[in-house]
């Protein structure tokens, strides 16, 4: 039954499908050298979304995090093929930056991009490095989203650095991917005071107690659902949420209500009504 104290969990178990909408704020796409994914192409991911009730997925393909020429073309094609289901983060490759081109892509394709994705730990460049300044200014001016891979106490993307970004760029919606995984004390208290910071749950369900920790310290109204798709199955994350010690109202905040509020700034976004329809 999944959780005999949760109506949402019981409905999921009965219907074999999540009973409320999902907005996925952290996904990838495309092959990746280290893995053989069964479902990494756009049509496969959209199939997964339909099966799981995911209304919208915001992604940055593995290819775009390696090869901007091919990668951004690939992302644009994927979004234009599934315009109601997919939107992209433009990749920022910190060791091969081209801010003019990236900003032009964002400006010219508002139907495709929601912001930038930073992978500072992988690139080995601090999020606060000057090289990122034009990207951050662009996001701040346009009130766009920043998805950052964040790891607890990382020298490239840790909580103290992200606090500096949150302070300096108050109009960026900062989505802390993985919620500083591995830190269990400082991040949520340090960053909780910045209303532009959100904690995203990719990989968080792998550690029992972590979800409740964030909800307690930062509040479920500051949490967003994400999967790293095709890395993690959507239902694995939803199932973990269903068995975590939360209320159904908190689960709905995380799965779609918070995301729905964030996305209303985009003209293409149609919103989710009270019935859960988009």
Based on the shown chain and the rule CB under 8 A, indicate whether residue 4 belongs to the binding site for other proteins. Answer: yes
| Shorter beta-carbon distance to other proteins: residue 31 or 98 | 31
124's CB contacts (< 8 A; 6+ apart) are 94, 95, 156
Question: DSSP string covering 166-181, please?
Answer: HHH-TTSEEEEEEEEE
Range 232-271, binding other proteins (CB under 8 A): 232-244
Stretch that binds other proteins, among 71-79, 91-99, 111-119, 207-215 (CB under 8 A): 207-215
Q: At residue 57, what are phi and psi to the nearest 5 degrees? A: -125, 130
| Shorter beta-carbon distance to other proteins: residue 131 or 233 | 233
Q: Which tokens is 260 given?
A: 């729905």
Report H helices in 109-218. 120-123, 133-142, 159-168, 186-191, 210-217
Based on the shown chain and the rule CB under 8 A, indicate whether residue 184 belongs to the binding site for other proteins. Answer: yes
160's CB contacts (< 8 A; 6+ apart) are 190
Give the x-and-dash track for 51-80 against other proteins (CB under 8 A). xx----------------------------
| Shorter beta-carbon distance to other proteins: residue 169 or 210 | 210
Binder of other proteins out of 12, 139, 191, 214 (CB under 8 A): 12
Number of residues lying near other proteins (CB under 8 A): 47
Binder of other proteins out of 37, 82, 122, 194 (CB under 8 A): 37
Based on the shown chain and the rule CB under 8 A, indicate whether residue 217 belongs to the binding site for other proteins. Answer: no
Based on the shown chain and the rule CB under 8 A, indicate whether residue 274 belongs to the binding site for other proteins. Answer: no
- List of residues contacting other proteins (CB under 8 A): 1-5, 9, 12-13, 16-17, 35-39, 44-45, 48, 51-52, 182, 184, 205-212, 227, 229-244
């Amino acid at each position: 039954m999944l959780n005999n104290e949760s109506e949402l969990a019981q409905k999921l178990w009965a219907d074999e499908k999540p009973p409320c909408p999902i907005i996925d704020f952290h996904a990838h796409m495309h092959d990746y050298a280290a893995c053989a994914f069964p479902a990494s192409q756009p049509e496969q991911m959209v199939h997964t979304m339909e099966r799981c009730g995911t209304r919208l997925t915001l992604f940055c393909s593995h290819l775009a995090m390696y090869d901007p020429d091919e990668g951004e073309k690939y992302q644009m094609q994927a979004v234009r093929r599934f315009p109601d289901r997919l939107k992209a983060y433009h990749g920022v490759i910190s060791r091969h930056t081209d801010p003019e081109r990236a900003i032009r892509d964002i400006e010219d394709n508002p139907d495709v991009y929601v912001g930038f994705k930073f992978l500072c730990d992988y690139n080995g460049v601090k999020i606060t490095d000057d090289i990122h300044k034009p990207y951050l200014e662009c996001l701040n001016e346009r009130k766009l989203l920043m998805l950052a891979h964040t790891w607890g106490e990382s020298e490239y993307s840790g909580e103290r650095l992200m606090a500096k970004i949150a302070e300096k760029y108050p109009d960026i919606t900062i989505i802390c991917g993985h919620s500083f995984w591995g830190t269990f004390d400082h991040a949520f208290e340090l960053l909780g005071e910045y209303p532009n910071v959100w904690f995203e749950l990719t990989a968080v369900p792998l550690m029992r107690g972590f979800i409740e920790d964030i909800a307690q310290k930062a509040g479920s109204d500051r949490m967003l659902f994400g999967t790293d798709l095709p890395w993690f199955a959507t239902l694995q994350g939803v199932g973990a949420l269903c068995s975590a010690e939360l209320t159904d109202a908190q689960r709905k905040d995380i799965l779609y209500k918070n995301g729905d509020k964030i996305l209303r700034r985009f003209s293409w976004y149609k919103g989710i009504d009270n019935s859960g329809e988009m």
